[in-house]
Chains A and B, each alone.
Chain A
Amino acid sequence: MPMSGHHDRHHDHDHSELSETQLRVRALETVLTEKGYVDPAALDLLIETYEKKVGPRNGAHVVAKAWVDPSYRARLFKDATPAIAELGYAGRQGEHIVALENTPNQHNMVVCTLCSCYPWPVLGLPPVWYKSAPYRSRVVADPRAVLAEFGVTLPAETKIRVWDSTSEIRYLVIPMRPAGTEGWSEDQLAELVTRDSMIGTGLPNRPEN
């Protein structure tokens, strides 16, 4: 690279660090491409997949089906990975998924204290807060306070169970079906299912909203 960028580095510390990372990533991609190890078009496709195709709408489909179809629900809680694959969701970071049932007695929350393990095929890539030190450190010690930071308060008698993910086992929370949705179709119900409700840091939207 020419040294023209050097002069700018003295001004904005954060900005220049970002630019340095940016330049370093670009340099590495060029080296790996020139060596024939990667194809930039294949990288574009990977990015597009995780930006546009694989995301929490997949998980919402699973949850809505579990709400309307008792036999699907039974299969999901018996062995979630094949039940999720029935709907076409499988692959990277979803090789072994466990579905967790929220009930009036127990609310489930998911974390990866060591890293960022997350069920990609049904939720996509994790948000920054899920990967960050505040969530990873605190949710195992004080889940009710963390829930409050997400605006959720549960009845005192509801137990909270926190599940620590590993690189092998990833969890999908199946929230309780909101009251007032009798007769709703699977697609309508899926609209109520938020990403956070499948991590356990939120609840599904209410039908009146």
Chain B
Amino acid sequence: MNGAHDLGGMHGFGPVEPEPDEPVFHAAWEKRAFALTLAMATPGGWNIDMSRFARENRPPAEYLAMSYYQVWFAALETMLKQRALVADDEIAAGHSLHAPKKVARTRSRSRSSR
């Protein structure tokens, strides 16, 4: 697909600005949005192409105005709602209001040594 994400060769975005001693994440919510996206891939049943599409199939002005993890998080919400795993009223309430769906399980952390 084409779209605002297809940036190669475009003019006008200004100089590259590397950040010295950059942290891996820039806010606590970025960590959670990142981890939720990874952790929900198996129960959500999506692969990298589906999550890429959900991020890139966004109105260009929106895509360019959002930060990287804002795009990730918006795509996560989109994919969860498309699969009826979460509903708008639940996100607004901040609580589960409907019975969960049966989903594939991710590997339990008990297998890890920590």
Interface residues of A (CB under 8 A from B): 1, 18, 21-32, 34-39, 41-47, 50-51, 55, 92, 111, 113-116, 124-125, 127-129, 131-141, 146, 149-150, 164, 167, 196, 201
Contacts and interface: CB of A to CB of B under 8 A. Distances in A.
A190 B79 CA distance: 41
A21 B29 contact: yes
Interface string B75-114: 0110010000110001111111000100100101100101
Contacts of A116: 68
Interface of B: 5-11, 13-19, 22, 24-29, 31-36, 38-40, 43, 48-49, 52, 55-56, 64, 68, 70, 73, 76-77, 80, 85-86, 90-96, 100, 103, 106, 108-109, 112, 114
Nearest to A19: B29
A38 B36 contact: yes
Nearest to A127: B22
A137 B95 contact: no
Nearest to A23: B94
Given A25-B73, A31-B95, A134-B13, A38 B39 contact: yes
14 contacts: A21-B29, A26-B32, A27-B94, A31-B95, A35-B100, A55-B24, A114-B7, A115-B5, A129-B19, A132-B16, A133-B64, A134-B13, A137-B13, A140-B8
A137 B9 contact: yes
Contacts of A23: 94
Contact of A18 (B6, B27, B31, B56): B27
Contacts of A51: 24-25, 31
A26 B39 contact: no
